[in-house]
Structure 1
Amino acid sequence: MYVDYSSISDEAKVWVYPSSRKFYTTEIEELEQSIKEFVENWKNDDENFKASYQLLYNRFIVLVADDSTSALINSDIDTSVSFILTLQEKYNIALLDKMNVCFKQGEYVQYKELKDFKKLLKSKAVTGKTIIFDNLISNNYDFKNFWETPIEESWYNRFL
Structure 2
Amino acid sequence: MFVDYKSISNDAKVWVYPSSRKFYPTEIEEIEEKIKTFVESWKVESENFKASYQFLYNRFIVLVAEDETAALTNVDIDASVTFILQLQETYKVELLDKMNVCFKQGEHVQYKELKDFKKLLKNRAVTAKTIIFDNLINNKEDLENFWEITIEDSWYNRFLK
Q: Normalised by the size of structure 2, how large is the TM-score?
A: 0.99
* Deviation (angstroms), 1:98: 1.1
The AA in structure 2 aligned to 1:27 is E
| Mapping 1:1-160, distance limit 5 Å | 1-160=1-160
Runs of 4 or more consecutive aligned structure 1 residues displaced over 6 Å after TM superposition: none
Distance in 1 (CA, whole Å) between partners of 2:59 and 2:81 is: 17
Note the C-alpha offset of 1:78: 0.4
1:50-75 superposed Cα distances (whole Å, 9 cap, x missing partner): 00000000000000001111100111
Q: Which runs of 5+ in 2 are unaligned?
A: none
Give the 3-state SS of the residue equivalent to 2:23 in structure 1: coil
Amino acid at match of 1:56: L
Question: d(CA) in 1 for partners of 2:44 and 2:15?
Answer: 19
**Cα RMSD (Å):** 0.4
SS in 2 for 1:51: strand
Counting matched residue pairs gives 160
User: Matched residues in 1 for 2:46 and 2:135: separation?
Assistant: 28
Identity of aligned residues (%): 76
| Structure 1 alignment gaps of length 5 or more | none
* Structure 2 residue matching 1:117: 3-state secondary structure: helix
Aligned partner of 1:95: which letter?
L
* TM-score normalised by length of structure 1: 0.99
Q: Which amino acid aligns with 1:80?
A: S
CA distance in 2: counterparts of 1:47 and 1:157, whole angstroms? 43
Distance 2:11 2:73 in 1: 16
Which digits, 9 at most, give the CA deviation of each residue in 1:64-98, with x for residues without a partner?
A: 00111110011100000000000000000000011
